[in-house]
Amino acid sequence: MLKTLMGGVALALAAAMPLQAQVDIRKETQRWQQMIAEGSPAELFEIEGEDLWKKKQGPKNVSLEGCDLGQGPGVVKAAYARLPRYFADADRVMDLETRLLHCMLTLQGRSREDAARRVFGNEDRPSEMELLSIYIAGQSRGVPMAPGTRHAKEREAFELGQKLFFHRAGAWDFSCSSCHGEADKRIRMQFLPVMSQPEGVRKIVATWPTYLVRNAQVKTMQWRIWDCYRQMRWPEPVFGSEATVALTQYLTVTGQGEPYAGPGTKR
Amino acid sequence: MSAGPMRMRATLGSGFTDVRVLMSHVMETGQRKDASGQVIPLHFIQNVTVKLNGKTVVEGEVSQAVSRNPVFSFRLKGGQKGDKIEVSWLDNTGVTNKTEGAVA
Amino acid sequence: MNKHILLLSAAAILVAGCAAPLPVGERPKLAAADLDQLVAMSKRDFRARGIAGMDRVELDAALRTCNLYNDEPPREVAQPLEEAMLKAIPFPAGSLMGDWKRGQALAQSGRGMTWSDKPNTANGGSCYNCHQLSPQEESFGTLGTSLRNFGKIRGTSEAIQRYTYGKIYNSKAYNLCSQMPRMGHSKTLNEQQIKDLTAYLLDPNSPVNK
Amino acid sequence: MQMNRRKALASAGAFGALLVAGLLRPVAALAAWNRAAFGAKSAPDVMKGLGVANAEPSTAIVIEAPQIAENGAVVPIEVMSNIPGTTALAVMIEKNPFPLASRFDFMDGALPFVKLNVKMGETSDVRVVATAGGKHYVATKEVKVTIGGCGG
């Protein structure tokens, strides 16, 4: 009887012992992240994205193969690593998804409503935008990230994104910096990268778009920003808007130089 | 329903051949509900087979607990460049798929 | 027209070619005009969805000040704003301690206030996202300070109850640029819910103080 | 013994019902798939179903898994047996409703190694059984599944 009681006490103690005392949370979560990245199914989606890139669509019944992603019409090799950048034909800075949308409208003759109706997919059906993005990004593997920084509008976008990153608003007074401004901080057990510093953001911009294991979906940077603002309790950012592209420009320029190692796999 | 894409890579490691295979599959547990509240039926890969130059070397049985879009790694003894590897699967609805490749 | 743009952009590239490097890694100093630009951009590039209305991009005096001063306003600017907000907290009469068990469920729940939340679902306090509280919950955030033994250290006096309730209701009444959401002021939590959380933090029987 | 048989019958009954409902078509029955073991609801019952109930602990089974998984939807597990002549490996997640996640037979030409991703409903021991020379060996490792925050 006594023994049983003692056993019970020991068990209760073990259960109450904080996890930190037993394992190094940072090291172990990093190991999990590394292991899921090694066994990433992201490539499967690249195949589907390539098919969509070559598929004839829209009123003009043409594929996106003539789309100029900045390296000339149809060039996908290393294109992602050089985005965002200024495009003279649209007279604005564009990230990959904004540019793809532009090509759907101009090349394929689709309406904005049709092309942007379903930019974010679900686990049963990824969106066209997500599959295309993961294919195009995969064509930049190993290429150092080098977004445009010479054109005045590219510089303007960086500066605007930088200001927006620190701008607090929304129902809970949050900015991006509220969660991504200080080193070694966590939400629940997830460590938060410091996105305003090169060392914090380099690996991030070099692995999006990514496969997310928590919902078995491929997701893009536009989605990442959109879902952050959702959780920041802001209204909804408009897909491809100047604000979202400016933030992507800010993050990518801050993290430039890292060889592209995506599409990644994350939580 | 037709089977989604598969990808396989077989590379020569130190003393063994590393076979990594990606499969597109929902791996439904039979416990999830769809938007209308209907239970989504069990739907998962049950059998995985690895063949080396036509001869079966690994035979696996798996459950719905394997993650969606399964990824498996196996190790084959020795092996040399050009050896033929085939990986196939069969799910509980009778759908099957396979992929072939050579050791690189 | 096209040619014109081309010429213009060529000029822009030339100018940029000798421009200073971009201020990577820095936090920009803002002028009032920058703030107006950011609010205008928010109004243009964000849109209302579900319960998340466009009123959320408007800045009140507190947030405007914090944004303008990069969260470090001079004391003489912050103090009157804090005092005004403190006066505006509707403290209920009587005990401010509700039911710690209900408070625990609120502390665990991160639901509410996003555009994907339905209008009439119960909001949580999201406390564990940023704070350590009960030793039994290993999955806690560290953006906020540890609240472990919060009541054990401070007791349950009327003053402490008032401080705890008020801090949850409007954190910025105590520290203008606190990173903590104003849970009562933003109508995330109601009076009873804040009382329950106050109990979770202060009650000697709450696991927070065990 | 009788108890076991009743359990086996019960699980066969459950699968029978699924067959009637058309969820499992007979074609799947053509390939080997151990219904008794995969239908078992506890690790000991799985081991009985696999015929490995008498497995003895071994340190020669290496289980590579993170101690913490930030999401239970994908928990990578790498299993390797250093026991000479290993011909089979079975992976169980003890706290899953159906613990047996997979079992593999390794013929001549394959090393007793497998890496796979599994779903874990909660923090649990991962139990691996290796079969070598007609004997069975077992090892376990705990993986903690944590409550997620919002990032990614």
Per-residue confidence (pLDDT) for residue A267, from 0 to 100: 86
Residues A131, A71 contacting (CB under 8 angstroms): no
- The CATH number linked to D58 is 2.60.40.2470
Q: A223 at the D interface (CB within 8 A)?
A: no
Per-residue confidence (pLDDT) for residue D21, from 0 to 100: 40
pLDDT at residue C8 tops 90: no
* CATH 1.50.10.10 given to domain B6-102: no
Per-residue confidence (pLDDT) for residue B13, from 0 to 100: 85
HSE-CB for C159 with a 13 A CA cutoff: 2
**Co-location of D52 and D106 in the same domain:** yes
Q: Do the domain assignments include residue D151?
A: no
**Co-location of D62 and D120 in the same domain:** yes
**Co-location of D21 and D79 in the same domain:** no
Per-residue confidence (pLDDT) for residue B15, from 0 to 100: 87
Total count of domains within chain A: 1
For the residues B69-98, what does the mean pLDDT come to? 95
Task: Kindly state the percentage of chain C with pLDDT values over 90.
Answer: 87
Q: Do the domain assignments include residue D46?
A: yes
Which of D32, D97, D110 has its CB closest to that of B76?
A: D110
Among residues B57, B60, B70, B64, the alpha carbon closest in space to that of B6 is found at: B70
Domain ranges of chain B: 6-102
Question: Residue A249 sits in which domain range?
Answer: 40-266
DSSP state of B86: E
The mean predicted confidence, pLDDT, of chain A is: 91
pLDDT at residue D4 tops 60: no
- Return d(Cα D103, Cα D89) in angstroms, integer: 6
Torsion sign (Cα): A192, A198, A201, A203: negative
**Co-location of D69 and D2 in the same domain:** no
Which of B5, B23, B69 has its CB closest to that of A216?
A: B69
Per-residue confidence (pLDDT) for residue A22, from 0 to 100: 60
The reply to whether residue C139 touches residue D146, judged by beta carbons under 8 angstroms, is yes
Per-residue confidence (pLDDT) for residue A26, from 0 to 100: 85
Per-residue confidence (pLDDT) for residue A40, from 0 to 100: 86
Per-residue confidence (pLDDT) for residue A38, from 0 to 100: 85
Name beta bridge partners: A81: none
**Least confident residue range of A254-263, D15-24, D58-67:** D15-24
**Co-location of D59 and D94 in the same domain:** yes
Among residues A117, A137, A144, the alpha carbon closest in space to that of A53 is found at: A137
Question: Residue D6 sits in which domain range?
Answer: 1-31
Name beta bridge partners: B76: B17, D110
For C43, the token pair is: 């109004």
The verdict on whether A179 is a catalytic residue reads no
Residues A50, D88 contacting (CB under 8 angstroms): no
pLDDT at residue C40 tops 70: yes
Judging contacts by C-beta atoms under 8 Å, the chain D residues touching residue B16 are 111
Write down the H helix ranges in A17-148.
Answer: 19-22, 25-38, 42-53, 96-106, 112-115, 128-138
For the residues A204-221, what does the mean pLDDT come to? 94
Q: How many CB pairs under 8 A join C and D?
A: 9
A113-142 pLDDT tens trace = 999 999 999 988 999 999 999 999 999 999
C104-136 pLDDT tens trace = 999 999 999 999 999 888 999 999 999 999 999
Q: Do the domain assignments include residue A124?
A: yes
- The CATH number linked to A130 is 1.10.760.10
Nearest CA in chain C to D69: C139
Q: Estimate the crossing angle of helix A221-231 against helix A96-106, to 10 degrees.
A: 120
- Return d(Cα D13, Cα C49) in angstroms, integer: 49
Q: Do the domain assignments include residue A7?
A: no
> Phi, psi at residue D145, to the nearest 5°?
-105, 125
Checking ipTM against 0.85, whether it exceeds it is no
Judging contacts by C-beta atoms under 8 Å, the chain B residues touching residue A44 are 4-7, 22-24, 69
pLDDT band at residue B77 using 50, 70 and 90 as cut-offs: very high
pLDDT at residue D105 tops 50: yes
Per-residue confidence (pLDDT) for residue C121, from 0 to 100: 84
pLDDT at residue A197 tops 90: yes
Sequence-ordered strand ranges (E) for D29-152? 56-57, 61-64, 68-69, 75-81, 86-93, 100-106, 110-118, 124-132, 135-145
Among residues A116, A109, A43, C126, the alpha carbon closest in space to that of B69 is found at: A43
Q: Do the domain assignments include residue A11?
A: no
**Co-location of D7 and D72 in the same domain:** no
Q: Please indicate whether chains C and A are in contact, defined as at least 3 beta carbon pairs under 8 Å.
A: yes
First to last CA, chain B: 32
Q: Do the domain assignments include residue A6?
A: no
**Co-location of D19 and D72 in the same domain:** no
Distance from CA of B47 to the nearest CA of D (A): 7
Torsion sign (Cα): A15, A19, A23, A27: positive
Which of A28, A188, A192 has its CB closest to that of D148?
A: A188
C53-71 pLDDT tens trace = 999 999 999 999 999 999 9
For the residues A238-253, what does the mean pLDDT come to? 98
pLDDT band at residue A256 using 50, 70 and 90 as cut-offs: very high
The reply to whether residue A41 touches residue B73, judged by beta carbons under 8 angstroms, is no
